[in-house]
Structures are given as structure tokens and as C-alpha cells.
């Protein structure tokens, strides 16, 4: 094992595993994030997002595999890693200090920052009143304060653990805007979330983690610029409905009861579809948006199927062994 590796990626994990027993933890996570990327990290509660980020911060020691930040092994070089990373923890709990100002000042001392102008500009931009009592701050204020603390040493990498949880939609959008702005400045951002739509809006790439396993890593461009679209069409009468079905479109969902069909159409065929539809009595037509959530649902369903098949295979394999 090397403490420092040569790598093009600012964040890299090599079959990172943290086994808490009873199937809990993270297993064989391989992540590669380039400089300047903004990567989302989604998964349900308890799927291992926070564990992965803690490994990256060097707070916990992996059972197996390694996490590298800027080529440095996180566990061994936690304090050096920290220099390159701004971290917003999932649970915001401030030290026992009176006000936000006192907290930011003490953070500045840790960072050995003498010039508070950058921090002050951040505070201004976030419209944050740091004179407030730390304990009586609202969730949004706390998140903002934590973000200022993470940004104030101008680190290249931002690790955000569910930063928008508990924020109202307006606050959330404002918060995400700030993060996007940081991204534009060229910072690498790794943000975990259990809300698909927010990473969908902001991130370049999204990793999906489920039950501790990295299921998929998808480029948002792929999802946004799919070569085909889905349209849902409902007809007024059965005759038209049956006639349309005979036209040979790729039907992915058929609801006979309502005379509804959902068709998958390539971009270039959209005009043809509308021409064909003009001949029928159409009740409504709408595009079924292909979301990240939908994509991941499919991926997970496929994975489940594969897992089941594997289990069945294993079982039958065992049976055969027994029979032999």
C-alpha cells in the first residue's frame, strides 16, 4: 500500500470497503473524479454515502481498499488531505462557542488564516448574520455558516454530505446556486444527496450507491440528451387506438382500458409521429420525461433481477453439487 500515488484524479477510491458487519457498510467502491468535476452521490438513507465521505476525509479506517484525495491516502494523511478539502458534515453541530462570528474566527485560527476578508465576502454573499447565537440558529443559517467554514480556506475540493437536507425549497435553490458558483470557479465538488432531482439539476456526473455497493455512475449529458423520447398518447375511441398500434411504433406501455399507449420515438421520427397522429382522434399527447430517478429505477430493477438470477443459479448449482 502506498501513502501517496500518482494519479490524474483528485478523488479516487480503489475497491474501498468498510464492513460494519451484518451486511452494513460499503463494499468495493471504485470512484474516480477528475479535477473540476461536480459529482453527485445518491442513494437511499443508510446506503453508505456518509461512510464513503468519512473514508475520504480519513475519519474512519477502511477495512479494505484505499481512498485517495489528491493522490494522498486519506487515513494516513488525514491532516494533509484536510488542507485540500472543504467539508460540510451531514449533521451540523458546532463547537461550544457563543456566536457564529466566534466560530468562524476560531476556524480561521485552525486554518491559520489571518486575513478574514475572503470569509467576510462569503458571509456577505450568503447574507448571513454571524452575530447570531450558534445554538439558536435556524437550520438554513447553520448550513450557511458551515458552508462558509468549509469555503473559507479556499480549498480545491468540496465534500458536501447531504448539504440541502432540511432546507426549504427557496433556501435550497439559493444554496445550490452558491455551490454551482464555486464549481464554475474550477473547484471539484463531491456532493451526496438522497434527492435525485437536485443532483440531476446541478451535477455533471452522478454515482448511485445502494446497500453499500456502487451500482452505477452516469453522465448527466447522456440522460439529458437521450437519442429517443417517450410520448404518452390517449385516443378517444377503440378503433383509432387499435389502428395506431398497427403502425409499428415501439410501444413500451399499453393501457387498453384507457386506450393509452406510450411510445419510444427517435428524435428524427417525431415529425412522422405527429403526421400519423393527425389522422386519429387524439384525447391528449404528452412527453414522459426521462429522469435520473427513472433511470436508476431501471438500473436497480435490472440489478435485482441479475442478483435473483445469481441466487437461483447458486442455489441450483449447490443442488447439482449435492446431486453429484
Partner 1 sequence: MFNKALFKQSCKANGIMWAIITFATCFMLACVMIISGNGNLTKLTGSMSSSIIESTVETTMEDRGLNYYLISVDALQRYDARYNSTQNNLMALMQFFQNDIPAILEENGFEQDENGEYPQGALELQGLILTVLNPDLTSVAPFLPSLGIDIDPNMFKEFYESHGEEAPTYDVSQVDSENRLDYIKDYAQKNASIYLAGNMSSDEVAQSIIDGTEESGGLKNYGITLDDYKTQFVYDDGSGQMVSKFTGDTGYAYIKDLSNTAIVTLRARVDYELSKNDGRPETEITQEIIGDLTQTFLDTLPDEISQSLREIGELDIYSMIVGTIFYNIAGLLLPMIYMIMCANNLIAGQVDRGSMAYVLSTSVKRKQVVFTQAMFLIGSLFAMFACMTVVSVVCLAILGPATVTLGYGELLLLNLGAFVAMFAMSGISFLASCWFNRTKYSLGLGGGINIFFLVATILGLFGSSAMPTVVRLDSLNFFNYVSIISLFDVVSILDGTLTFIWKLAILLGIGIVCYIIGAFKFQKKDLPL
Three cell numbers, residue 59? 475519519
Region near partner 1 per CB under 8 A, out of 103-111, 173-181, 191-199, 220-228: 103-111
- Candidate segments 104-112, 118-126, 204-212, 314-322, binder of partner 1 by CB under 8 A: 104-112
CA angle 317–318–321, rounded 5-degree value? 90
Residue 235 neighbours by CB under 8 Å, 6+ apart = 241, 244, 259, 260, 280, 281, 282, 283
**Taking the complex as a whole, how short is the minimal distance between the CB of residue 126 and partner 1, in angstroms?**
17
Nearest to 1 by CA among 75, 79, 85: 75
> With contacts defined by CB under 8 A, how many residues of the chain interact with partner 1?
32
Q: Which stretches of the chain are assigned E, i.e. beta strand?
A: 9-21, 24-29, 32-34, 38-42, 64-69, 72-73, 85-88, 157-161, 188-193, 205-210, 213-219, 228-235, 250-255, 260-266, 282-288
Residues 45-64 that bind partner 1 (CB under 8 A): 54, 57, 59-61
Candidates 8, 91, 321, 323; binder of partner 1 (CB under 8 A) is 91
Instruction: Quote the cell numbers at residue 270.
Output: 417525431
Pairing of strands 9-21, 64-69: antiparallel
The reply on whether position 16 binds partner 1 by CB under 8 A is: no
Task: In angstroms, give the least distance from the CB of 101 to partner 1.
Answer: 13
163 binds partner 1 per the rule CB under 8 A: no
**190 is a contact residue toward partner 1 (CB under 8 A):** no
Residue from 5, 102, 116, 288 binding partner 1 (CB under 8 A):
102
Q: Give the CA angle between residues 190, 120, 153 to the nearest 5°.
A: 40
- The yes or no reply on residue 86 touching partner 1 (CB under 8 A) is yes
By beta-carbon proximity to partner 1, the closer residue of 98 and 317 is 98
Residue whose C-alpha cell reads 455512475 in the numeric block: 217
Q: Please enumerate in sequence order all residues whose Cβ is within 8 A of that of 220, keeping only pairs 6 or more positions apart, or say none.
A: 200, 203, 204, 205, 206, 292
Binding mask 115-154 for partner 1 (x = CB under 8 A): ----------------------------------xx--x-
**Residue 89 binding partner 1, by CB under 8 A:** yes
Binding site for partner 1 (CB under 8 A): 54, 57, 59-61, 78-80, 82-83, 85-87, 89, 91-98, 102-103, 106-107, 109-111, 149-150, 153
Amino acid at each position: 500500500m502506498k501513502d501517496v500515488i500518482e494519479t490524474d484524479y483528485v478523488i479516487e477510491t480503489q475497491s474501498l470497503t468498510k464492513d460494519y458487519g451484518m451486511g452494513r457498510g460499503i463494499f468495493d467502491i471504485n470512484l474516480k473524479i477528475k479535477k473540476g468535476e461536480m459529482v453527485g452521490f445518491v442513494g437511499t438513507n443508510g446506503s453508505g454515502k456518509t461512510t464513503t465521505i468519512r473514508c475520504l476525509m480519513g475519519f474512519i479506517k477502511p477495512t479494505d481498499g484505499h481512498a485517495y484525495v489528491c493522490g494522498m491516502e486519506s487515513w494516513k494523511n488525514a491532516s494533509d488531505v484536510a488542507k485540500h478539502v472543504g467539508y460540510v458534515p451531514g449533521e451540523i453541530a458546532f463547537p461550544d462557542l457563543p456566536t457564529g462570528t466566534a466560530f468562524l474566527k476560531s476556524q480561521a485560527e485552525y486554518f491559520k488564516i489571518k486575513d478574514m476578508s475572503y470569509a467576510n465576502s462569503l458571509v456577505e454573499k450568503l447574507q448571513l448574520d454571524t452575530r447570531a447565537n450558534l445554538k439558536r440558529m435556524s437550520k438554513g443559517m447553520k448550513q450557511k455558516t458551515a458552508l462558509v467554514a468549509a469555503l473559507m480556506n479556499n480549498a480545491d475540493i468540496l465534500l458536501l454530505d447531504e448539504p440541502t437536507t432540511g432546507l426549504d425549497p427557496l433556501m435550497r435553490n439559493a444554496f445550490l446556486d452558491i455551490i454551482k458558483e464555486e464549481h464554475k470557479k474550477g473547484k471539484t465538488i463531491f456532493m451526496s444527496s438522497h434527492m435525485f432531482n437536485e443532483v440531476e439539476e446541478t451535477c455533471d456526473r452522478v454515482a448511485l450507491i445502494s446497500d453499500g455497493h456502487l451500482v452505477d455512475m452516469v453522465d448527466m449529458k447522456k440522460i439529458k440528451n437521450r437519442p429517443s423520447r417517450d410520448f404518452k398518447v390517449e385516443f378517444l375511441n377503440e378503433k383509432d387506438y387499435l389502428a395506431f398500434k398497427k403502425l409499428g411504433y415501439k410501444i413500451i406501455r399499453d393501457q387498453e382500458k384507457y386506450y393509452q399507449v406510450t411510445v419510444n420515438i427517435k428524435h428524427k421520427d417525431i415529425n412522422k409521429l405527429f403526421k400519423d397522429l393527425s389522422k386519429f382522434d387524439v384525447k391528449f399527447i404528452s412527453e414522459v420525461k426521462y429522469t435520473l430517478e427513472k433511470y436508476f429505477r431501471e438500473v436497480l430493477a435490472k440489478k435485482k433481477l441479475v442478483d435473483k438470477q445469481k441466487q437461483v443459479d447458486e442455489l441450483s448449482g449447490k443442488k447439482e453439487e449435492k446431486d453429484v
